């Protein structure tokens, strides 16, 4: 158990819909990272937040957005969903060493 929690574990929705994925980092970690893992694209870094502020941005689509709240939990919002958005979405957190990230169990999103 990494100490990072993600909800929900599974999510099934339809094209065009909007969903919110939630992540709680390990106790004391200020950084949260979001990743997408799909069969054709592999693991893709989406975005990082540090103590409520956006710190780095990767391959995140404009239809996706994220935020980190004062209690340090984070949410990833995916809108206008397409079939290709079906993937595993992982959240990770880190402390002072940004590269030493602890991953959560992931949310499996299925868009029908």
Partner 1 sequence: GQQLNQSPQSMFIQEGEDVSMNCTSSSIFNTWLWYKQDPGEGPVLLIALYKAGELTSNGRLTAQFGITRKDSFLNISASIPSDVGIYFCAGQLGFSGTYKYIFGTGTRLKVLA
Q: Which residues bind partner 1 (CB under 8 A)?
A: 2, 4, 41-45, 55-59, 90, 92, 97, 99-106
- The counts of H helices and E strands in the chain are 0, 11
Tell me the closest approach of the beta carbon of residue 82 to partner 1, in angstroms: 16
Identify which of residues 16 and 28 has a Cβ nearer to partner 1 in the complex: 28
Identify which of residues 16 and 63 has a Cβ nearer to partner 1 in the complex: 63
Tell me the closest approach of the beta carbon of residue 112 to partner 1, in angstroms: 21
Query: What is the rounded distance in angstroms from the CA atom of residue 77 to the CA atom of residue 100?
Result: 25
Query: What is the rounded distance in angstroms from the CA atom of residue 41 to the CA atom of residue 29?
Result: 28
Tell me the closest approach of the beta carbon of residue 25 to partner 1, in angstroms: 13
Task: Output the CA torsion 66→71→72→76 (10° steps).
Answer: -20
Identify which of residues 17 and 46 has a Cβ nearer to partner 1 in the complex: 46
Tell me the closest approach of the beta carbon of residue 62 to partner 1, in angstroms: 15
Query: What is the rounded distance in angstroms from the CA atom of residue 64 to the CA atom of residue 109?
Result: 14
């Amino acid at each position: 158990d990494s100490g990072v929690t993600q909800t929900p574990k599974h999510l099934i929705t339809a094209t065009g819909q909007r969903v919110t994925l939630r992540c709680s980092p390990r106790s004391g970690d200020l950084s949260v990272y979001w990743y997408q893992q799909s069969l054709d694209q592999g693991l893709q870094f989406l975005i990082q937040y540090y103590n409520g502020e956006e710190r780095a941005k990767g391959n995140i689509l404009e239809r996706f957005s994220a935020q980190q709240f004062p209690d340090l939990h984070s949410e990833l919002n995916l809108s206008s969903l397409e079939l290709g958005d079906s993937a595993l979405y992982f959240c990770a957190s880190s402390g002072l060493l940004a590269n030493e990230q602890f991953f959560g169990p992931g949310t499996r999103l299925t868009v029908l």
